[in-house]
Amino acid sequence: MKMVKRSYYEIQNIHPNAPRRLVSALRKAGWKRRELARRLDVDSGDLIRLLKHGIEPSDHTEHGQQTRVNLFLPRKKRQPRESKVDTRPEWLKIIQKKIRFMRTETTRDVLKRWRNNNGKDL
């Protein structure tokens, strides 16, 4: 039977969502979770939930935000951006595109005229 080489993540049952800095600190603490919780000044339950299950502490309270910072997470959770759906009718899109083109052309022509006259005429 061939032995499969396992990583520390598999051996120590560390969730992939755990920050690398936290795993490094855990290694420096001798893989002792409670010792690491004391060093980081966080609740051992929060630390273990993050390491084993990938569950991050809440960011709704000041205490939760400070816990997140101590666990090498950002103070606030990132909110995924929703992609904007263009609900404009097709005819309006065409008109707005033409208006943008005319504005660009006008600006370019005005600048060209100004440069030719060295700014004296305008």
**pLDDT given for residue 86 in this prediction:** 85
Q: Are 64 and 12 contained in the same domain?
A: yes
DSSP characters over 23-44 = HHHHHHTTT-HHHHHHHHTS-H
Determine the average pLDDT of the residues in 27-40: 90
**pLDDT given for residue 80 in this prediction:** 81
Residue 2: is it exposed, middle or buried by C-beta count within 10 angstroms (0-12/13-18/19+)?
Answer: exposed
Residue 49 reports pLDDT greater than 90: yes
Range of the domain at 101: 88-122
Determine the average pLDDT of the residues in 57-83: 90
Residue 104 lies in a domain: yes
Residue 78 lies in a domain: no
pTM higher than 0.85:
no
Instruction: Give the C-alpha separation, 48 to 57, whole Å.
Output: 11
pLDDT in tens, 86-113: 889 999 999 999 999 999 999 999 998 8
Q: Are 14 and 66 contained in the same domain?
A: yes
- When the pLDDT of each residue in the chain is averaged and rounded to a whole number, the result is 87
Q: Are 58 and 22 contained in the same domain?
A: yes
Residue 115 lies in a domain: yes
Residue 75 lies in a domain: no
Residue 122 reports pLDDT greater than 60: no
Residue 79 lies in a domain: no
Q: Are 66 and 93 contained in the same domain?
A: no
Domain count, the chain: 2
**pLDDT given for residue 84 in this prediction:** 82
Q: Are 102 and 66 contained in the same domain?
A: no
Residue 93 lies in a domain: yes
